[in-house]
Structures are given as C-alpha cells and as structure tokens.
Amino acid sequence: MSTKVDDPRVIEFDVRTDEMLINMGPQHPSTHGVLRLILRTDGEIVSEVEPHLGYLHRCAEKIGENLTPRQWVPYTDRMDYLAGMNMNLGWALVVEKLLEHDLPEKARHLRVIISEMGRIASHLVGMGAYGLDLGTFSPFLYAFREREKILDLFEKACGARLTYSYLTPGGATGDLPPGWVDECRDFLAQFKPCIPEFHELLTNNQIFIGRTAGIGVMSAATAINYGCTGPVLRGSGVPYDLRFNGEERYTEMYEGYQFDVIVQDPETGKYPDPHLEEFGDDLDYPEIPKEAILGDCWHRFYVRMLEVVQAIRLVEQALDKYESASGDWGQPIKLTQKLPKGEAYLETEAPRGQMGFYLVSTGDSIPWRVRARSSCFCNLSVTSELCRGTLLADVPAIVGSLDVVMGEIDR
C-alpha cells in the first residue's frame, strides 16, 4: 500500500491533507486576460499547474491567408495589443524581406523611435500589472499615467491609441507631425525622473523583494529548452537579443546606435551599468538584493526596468538621427502589391521576446500561408515547470513575471 512520491518538489506534509483542483481563470483578476490555469494544490502549496489556452483565438493567421499583406496589418495590432507598433514592425519587415524592398534612412530611424517607444509603453504595462499581481495598486496607475503620454504621442503620429497600423510594409502610413520630436523629447525628460520612483515603489521595496526574489527560479538551460525569449530569457542570464543577434535585415535597423543588452554579467554579477551620463546622477538604481537568484521573478522584472532605460537611450539617439536623416518616411506598398513567389521568415525583438512572422507566397497578392511565432506562447509554457511546489500566492507572481499577453498567445 505504501507509495513514494518520487518528485522531490512535491512536498510530503507532516499533516496529511487532501488535494484540491482549482480553476484559476479564465475570469480571474490576475491571469492577464483569459488565461485559465488549473492548479492542483495541497493546502497553500501548488503541486501542479496546467495552463489552458484558446479563449481568445481569432484565427488571425487564417485571416492573413485571405488578405493582402497591407490589409493584414491591423490584425497584427491585435496580437500583442500592448505593443501594437512592434507587431506592425515585425510584419512590415518580413513583407519587405520577401519583396526585397529597402527603406530610406529617415524611415529606419522613425521605426526605431516608434518601436522603442512601444517597448517603453509595453514594459510600463508589464511593470504596473506586476505590482497589481502582488497586491499593490498604485504603481499600476503611475505606470499607466506615463503610458498614456506615450499613447498621446502615438495618437498624434497615427491617430490611434491602441491599434495603430502605423508601421506598414514599405515604411509608415505617414511622417511624424511637426513638433512631434520636441514633444517626444519633453516626454522623455519628464519620464526619466519617474524611473527611480518605480524602483523605490517596487524594485527596492522589501515586501516586493520578499515576494519575487528566489521565486520561480528558471535556469538558463530551462529557459533555452522551453524556447523562452525576451526579458524572460535574459532574466535567466542568457545574452540573447535579436537587436544584436538577429537577422541582418533587422539588426541593420539599429546600425550606429549605442545600447546594451540587459543581462547579468556572469563574472561580476552585475547588470550593464545604467548610470549613463545623459541621465545625470540622480538616477538611483537598486543593488541586486541578496535573496535574488539569477532567473527569478525579481531578475525578470529588473531586466524589464533596465530595458526601459535602454529604450530611452535608443529613442534619444534616434530622435537626433531622425532629424538629420535624409529621405522620407517611406511609402507604403500598394494595397494589392503582387508578392514574389517564395517564402520569408523574420524575427524581431518585440517587448515580450522574439516575434517571428512567416510568409509563403505563390506569386499572388494574397499570401498562401501566414504564420506568427509568438514569444508569450513559449514563455507561458514554462509556467507549470516554475510553479510546481510553490505557494498559491506565487502563481500570480510567476505568471505576472512572464508578462504574457493572451492576444499574442491565442492569436
């Protein structure tokens, strides 16, 4: 009769208790949309987590096989709806790759500005919502206050606040309006002092550290095995950023830019020094707490925070380059542009990781096959591995630190 539980992560209790199956979601406050997690718990301890997907499936890829590439741009907006600009960019680049279409210089810098601003906006949501997952409400609103300002800028550029369809194959739908660059500089100037506030409220907060440090530790091997990308991968100490490591067609967009991949240096145990002179000395960055282990929730969060700083750096450089660049913003391709026969695949570094689009054409103006490879899908798959043996309260902390967007997972 006696049995032995082999997995040492499943804890034997002194007091015998019964296990419970609990549905977390799809209508749950902290599952970031319509994610459904089935938890097998023993009291407060979670022994197994199984994510269930598909509540937001909209057949986006299938629709893409019935529309021309330009027509499908709005559907990419609705994938990672928190970073629509970056989704647009990924699709635009892959279509351009198939068409072998090259952009003018100015359009390249415009894309850097827009996509990095999109990264800031997306990380702000990730950061604020993570606070919400841990039970503090205020950082969420601070983050959204700043995000709203970015959305205002986007609205001025393209007229939309959520589903932009701004970056299209061939360039952008229009140039930045006059005065936009200065407004953007003003925004960055007032946004920079906000970053230490976020650090004080969250990163440095002792309760926050207690809730995140050492929780959901993912080794580099696990991260690679599960195909995690983006801040989740870099939080585990793997120096992989498609803006450096990606295809040339993508990395050439960042040619001439100075920025760092945010990853912990395995020797010094430090992150790239964010004390840059252009930020002044008033930025007070937190030390890595003693409790934190590389690859835990705290590191994933911190990587996002530092990436915001790098994105600001990039935007500032891009604004200068944009002003002095030659050429125009790039004309969008025709709505019914014939695609050459063949296939193309390109990955870009979206805020949540590697966003790849795959396009097969039979020579028609409508693609024969469209496929999106989303980062969150792989990032989420690691949940059940990370959550095993944690406490119930750690599940939102871990899922939140993966920063998933269901629109991108289900497509």
83, 89, 92, 134: which one contacts another protein (CB under 8 A)?
134
Per-residue x/- track, 80-119, another protein (CB under 8 A): ----------------------------------------
CB closer to another protein out of 181 and 293: 293
260, 307, 394, 410: which one contacts another protein (CB under 8 A)?
394
34, 35, 45, 315: which one contacts another protein (CB under 8 A)?
45
Q: Per CB under 8 A, which region of 85-93, 166-174, 327-335, 386-394 contacts another protein?
A: 386-394
Per-residue x/- track, 22-41, another protein (CB under 8 A): xx----xxx-------x-x-
264 belongs to the binding site for another protein (CB under 8 A): no
CB closer to another protein out of 304 and 313: 304
264, 348, 390, 401: which one contacts another protein (CB under 8 A)?
390
Q: Per CB under 8 A, which region of 47-55, 80-88, 147-155, 280-288 contacts another protein?
A: 47-55
CA distances in angstroms from 301 to 144, 176, 231, 378, listed in the order given:
17, 32, 8, 18
* Rounded least distance, CB 139 to another protein, Å: 9
Residue 343 tokens read as 């296939």
18 belongs to the binding site for another protein (CB under 8 A): yes
Binders of another protein among residues 222 to 251 (CB under 8 A) are 222
341 belongs to the binding site for another protein (CB under 8 A): no
CB closer to another protein out of 134 and 370: 134
Binders of another protein among residues 355 to 374 (CB under 8 A) are none
CB closer to another protein out of 38 and 67: 38
